[in-house]
Amino acid sequence: MTVRLRLAHTCDLDPAELGAARALLDEAFGGDLSDDDWDHGLGGMHALVRDGRGLAAHGSVVMRRIRHRGRWLRTGYVEAVAVRPDARRTGLGGRVMGELERVIDRAYDLGALSASEEGALLYAARGWQQWGGQVHVLSPDGIARLEGEEGGVWLRPALAGPLDHGGELVFDWRDGDVT
């Protein structure tokens, strides 16, 4: 079966492609994908893998700002990674991540994502580092700690160089889940 990988900006995806990506994510997350979650994956670069049955895998990387050691880093934040159930464990998630990592490594100071326990296995195998420090958000009311997010954030240093894993990360604000 021929598998095709495409990297495209949100503005280059037609409504049918965006609809297929949303449907794939809804299926992969068991209907637990909110409109905010979907919105978080838009406005950046999408890696889409198609096979003979249609869209088999998707992921996107969008720009965010994360403060580390007093510096706001231009961060490629990975969102909306999913593989169709019948295509899982065939390497398609790795192909999607390979394209997203290429974007991160060339265009951002840092790569970041929030991982489920299952997803963390893929990211760890690809060299992503689990963040061991504190996680905060710059909220409308000031900086607030997100203890519930600690342990679920993974980083790819890219151009930022070594990170202080005993320090803190401060995420920019967004609606819905902050990380």
- Distance between CA 174 and CA 119 in Å, rounded? 22
**Domain range for 112:** 4-171
CATH code, domain carrying 97? 3.40.630.30
Residues sharing a CB contact under 8 Å with residue 15, sequence separation 6 or more, in sequence order: none
Enter the pTM of the model.
Answer: 0.94
pLDDT at 74: 95
- Distance between CA 95 and CA 100 in Å, rounded? 9
Decide: 60 and 46 in contact? Cβ < 8 Å.
yes
In a domain, 131, yes or no: yes
- Distance between CA 86 and CA 117 in Å, rounded? 20
| Count of domains observed in the chain | 1
Residues of the chain with pLDDT under 70: 1, 158-161
Decide: 101 and 111 in contact? Cβ < 8 Å.
yes
pLDDT at 1: 65
